[in-house]
Structure 1
Amino acid sequence: MLAAAAGFLAVALAIRAASAGALESTGRLEQYSGTALYASMTYVGVLAVWPRRSPWVAATVAWAWCWAMECFQLTGIPAELATRSLLARLVLGIRFDPVDLWWYPVGIVPLAVAHAWLRRRRPAP
């Protein structure tokens, strides 16, 4: 799961580097792909912490986390922390964007569907 999370992060950073050349970018491709890939990282992070959770429980927890972090940005605290730490910026974000609320499921739902499909195909122990 951690390798998958690292892979999603690498893809997000590669998209930013290839299209904008900087971590701080405002293009739609960089923003929306980054949001969806953040959600994907969150999903696999949930499974890394709770590996036996069902895909739908993991998806719900990941989705709730993403929405909570997005709403937390309304406080201004993440923006302040982001000025001091790249890690805080990557985990908490900077500013609220209501469009992001709709991009989180784009990163979570396909993984949950694939996970559920793979679980059904696996033989019972």
Structure 2
Amino acid sequence: MSGDGELGRIGAKAPSRGRRWAVLGAVLTIALALGSRAVAPDSAVTKYGGDALYTVLLMTLVVAVAPRLGDGAAALVALALSWAVELLQLADWVGDLSARSTAARLVLGSTFNAPDLLWYVAGAAAGWCACRAGRRIGAARHNRVVRPAAPADGRHLGRG
């Protein structure tokens, strides 16, 4: 993981993405999830894509709460939380609560589905890739070198 330091290294310099970028990422993730449900509410792509986006959303929240956490660690925390929520669905009370509360259904789900566990991995990987891409873009912008314009008389070519 070049550039990411040790997986899960805490205490690294504050990442350039910061809390504002994480909150923006959360808002965009929610908009994408709601938009996909509006366009194709009963499709497999929406269902399993929603699982992946759930983990991406959790990752944005992890980054917002702990911005110094490395990308890999944030992805692993989000994945662990996603798996924990999915496994919690094996308990009867979660289904009962989800049947009574829309908020509980959105946060906890309602029934265990083993393939969801794999889609959470896809979401963690997508979130990690997005963080890495954002970090590289930020680094490229930060490290950009501004060179003075070459003289018009050709002296820069050794002809002067």
TM-score band by shorter chain is 0.7 to 0.9
Give the Cα separation in 1 of the matches to 2:102 and 2:27: 16
Q: Specify the SS of the correspondent of 2:90.
A: helix
Give the Cα separation in 1 of the matches to 2:58 and 2:88: 16
% identical aligned pairs: 37
Q: Does 98-107 or 80-89 show the bigger shift?
A: 80-89
Q: Is 1:7 aligned to residue 28 of structure 2? A: yes
Give the Cα separation in 1 of the matches to 2:39 and 2:130: 28
RMSD across aligned positions (CA):
1.9
Q: Is 1:98 aligned to residue 114 of structure 2? A: yes
Structure 2 counterpart of 1:67? 83
Q: Is the 8 A contact 2:55 2:78 kept in 1?
A: yes
Q: Is the 8 A contact 1:63 1:108 kept in 2?
A: yes
Number of equivalences: 119
Aligned pairs for 1:24-43 within 5 A? 25=42, 27-43=43-59
Aligned pairs for 1:78-117 within 5 A? 78-117=94-133
| TM-score, normalised by the number of residues in structure 1 | 0.84
Q: Is the 8 A contact 1:70 1:101 kept in 2?
A: yes
Change in CA separation of 1:81 and 1:64 when aligned onto 2, cut-off 3 Å: same
The Cα shift of 1:3 comes to 2.5
The Cα shift of 1:118 comes to 4.2
2:26 is aligned with what amino acid? A
The Cα shift of 1:117 comes to 4.8
Q: Does 67-76 or 108-117 show the bigger shift?
A: 108-117
Post-superposition CA distance 1:80-121 (Å, at most 9, x none): 111222111111111100000000121111221332354466
* Runs of 4+ deviating beyond 4 Å: none
User: Which of structures 1 and 2 has the bigger CA Rg?
Assistant: 2
Higher helix share: 1
The Cα shift of 1:30 comes to 2.0
Q: Identify unmatched segments of 5+ residues in structure 2.
A: 1-21, 144-160
